[in-house]
Chains A and B, each alone.
Chain A
């Protein structure tokens, strides 16, 4: 992965295994030592340490002030469910081209529709369930996971009446319905049903901003960029003012707000949740130097943001933090390849595949593999007919369900390129709402009808072993 421009010499399983073996003798490597302090705070490391050290007092102090709210709630959540299942959602933004990632080189129409962009016959890795399809050479990591039975593949995920707007289609997937008006994400709605008011970590977005998929109506959730660096610095303030000052973040957040002021209510809710989150994340921060204390038992692609997020998830679950739903979107990887697709797409495929394989190996090494299932999705696939150097927005696209407990195999079939839909796009063979309902029922043991509108309409594929 270090030389992403050279497609012939990229990421291979053998290299990954060699690297893993080389590192195994050193024990668990810590996460990249240069992992930055919060960008641009302008604080020296020492100052920061001072802030971090003071933090413990703040949390304990808050605990005295408001008995039971913080750590008891977190401890309760963690203790009640030490073997609790986690669902991870990975969004590939822009509409990934399924016909490159899993190329239908055996379909006679493929070369006609993709005279410049078609994957040449003979390249890539075979796809067990359908001999027309081959994995792109840069998707070897996904082929490995699929062959191990840990990656279920939906070659044509979508919905009737596909919308080719990024934002509309993405919104449908985010809210779990083809309804432009819904404001709560489908995973947020699940947490509203089963979550608690004292555990923001029950829903976690690891993108620095809240993923709309996880936007709740009622319960607190968390958004983080660097979980190990989440704390409130305080220059020019020391004991005995410091603890009350940090408590005041939660105190001001807890003030009552009239219903006529929704934005102010939101600001207060977030301040309260932020204050709580600092306490929850304390196990992640090393008390001595503010650097993250967690390591990883396997190497991740070194330059991948997605890999870094997945690595943090594995570490947090390993530390016993009460995560239930996590979103780790592949922001920074743009799959909207209208132009120069052949130059740009392969390395992004390798990034996603390498990150997912490393995540799976990490969970396996930590003994967590049976607790985590990961859904990978994009807002649509791309049009079979190329436009010159790229492809425009399409309809049905790829989806994956990854995990030791994934059913593996293929869900829905590849519909072929001979008959396209009325917009000349790929026809869908599995409905995303059926997949959501299946995950809710089979993985989370939830009542799908209270989360997905009209859930009864959609057939559930078998997603869990």
Chain B
């Protein structure tokens, strides 16, 4: 992990330390919530910046993303085949989360994968899903107008919400409903009626594709003959609407800006936006010409982002963060099965509303997180020979060493005290006078590292 200020977190010295400690905590939170946690040196770098500079460093990346660190491999040393091999789609993206120097771009791609949640369970083509993934990445911090237009006619979306199956005379409402309910306006707010859904469904007709045995869906195209050319009435206005009009109608609906603002807010904050915040963010959104970046910056600069309560880390963020913290790349396919245990397998959200964000943790997914830590730590487990120190090592020192190996993450006081107590208890178990021998010290280190990374504290940021 490089030379980290291992003692800073635990032994604040009276002079200027409190400021440093607060800034480190803010850096941790920003890096976790607007990315995938820190890599070596990130916390120290961000802690030196003003809040605004730190946020802009994430929201205004320059040029193409650079991937640094070991190339992704299977345990057998083979390169990934993301379009073709089961699970390699997940690994390919996890690798970008771990290695990109533009983590917020990946995080926004993840947010929009949840926002426009399509599952390969139905699309049945890793190639189409990865194509959609590139689309989401391209617009991740750009214009929501452009993103919404592009996703509406994205091949995976056309398959997932049955656009390819909808035509004049037999309209399939699936996309029409979700484009308003989940993507742009929200249910139960009075923004639209059931009648609007049916009319909008007619406007969206015309897209199609061919299904070829062995190839899946191909030849995505707009076929004017399949389009319902009749007059439609949406939101009380009539017209001969087509699919582009459908997008514009939703975006121009007066309920859209507040929907966008409140939905985006909840990806970064553990509490809903209050009315004043919603209005302020909606104004930013309108005023910026529907710029995603502008609203993200407003959220990340909100005082409550730093002073408010901690928020549970989404499972894939947690896993990518473990690997970043440990400086480890993708070197096993185990992360695919583990993703399911943790409750977030990329490209397989449970349904079109995405993952259930306010219930990431339960007894099953918590065990998944424990198992993920076991896998993450496996290559660096200590043995009496490996990593053994001559120092008899007090309980406190043992905790410091474990924290330093993990980038010195902040812990709450009660957790720190509990772990010191644990450290003392296990050391005294056999040789209370002489202190723990090398075998016991190695086991104690392994246990402390596991407990820190699996602790309730570390599940949140």
Contacts and interface: CB of A to CB of B under 8 A. Distances in A.
Interface of A: 38-43, 93, 163-168, 180, 200, 205, 208-210, 212, 215, 222-225, 230, 232-238, 240-242, 244-245, 248-249, 251-253, 255-256, 260-264, 266-268, 270-271, 273-274, 277, 331, 334, 338-339, 386-390, 392-393, 423
Nearest to A386: B170
B125 interface: no
Interface stretch (B11-19, B21-29, B140-148, B336-344): B336-344
A145 B454 CA distance: 46
24 contacts: A39-B341, A40-B371, A41-B375, A208-B364, A224-B363, A237-B447, A244-B422, A244-B429, A245-B450, A248-B418, A248-B422, A260-B309, A263-B310, A264-B460, A267-B459, A270-B362, A271-B366, A334-B121, A338-B173, A339-B172, A390-B162, A390-B172, A392-B172, A393-B177
Contacts of A39: 337-338, 340-341
A267 B353 contact: no
A234 B310 CA distance: 28
Contacts of B162: 338-339, 390
A18 B174 CA distance: 43
A115 to B, nearest CB: 11
Interface of B: 121-122, 162, 165-167, 170-174, 177, 181-182, 187-188, 194, 197, 270, 309-312, 332-341, 343, 350-353, 356, 359, 361-367, 370-371, 374-375, 377-378, 381-383, 412, 414-415, 418-419, 422, 425-426, 429-430, 440, 442-444, 446-447, 450-451, 454-457, 459-460
Contact of B337 (A40, A93, A210, A266): A40
Given A165-B181, A252-B418, A41 B338 contact: yes
Contact of A164 (B177, B311, B312, B381): B177
Contact of A262 (B309, B378, B383, B425): B309
Contacts of B341: 38-40, 208, 225
Given A42-B332, A180-B188, A210-B359, A235 B446 contact: yes
Given A39-B341, A255-B415, A266 B312 contact: yes
A261 B270 CA distance: 10
A253 B361 CA distance: 13
Given A236-B383, A387-B171, A245 B374 contact: no
A277 B381 contact: no
Given A93-B351, A237-B446, A240-B429, A338 B362 contact: no
Closest 6 CB pairs of A and B: A40-B337, A39-B337, A388-B170, A267-B456, A236-B381, A223-B362
B335 A40 contact: yes
B367 A230 contact: yes
Contacts of A165: 177, 181, 187
A42 B450 contact: no
Contact of B309 (A264, A338, A390): A264
Contacts of A167: 181-182, 187, 353
Nearest to B350: A331
A387 B381 contact: no
A235 B456 contact: no
Contacts of A387: 166, 170-173
Nearest to A231: B367
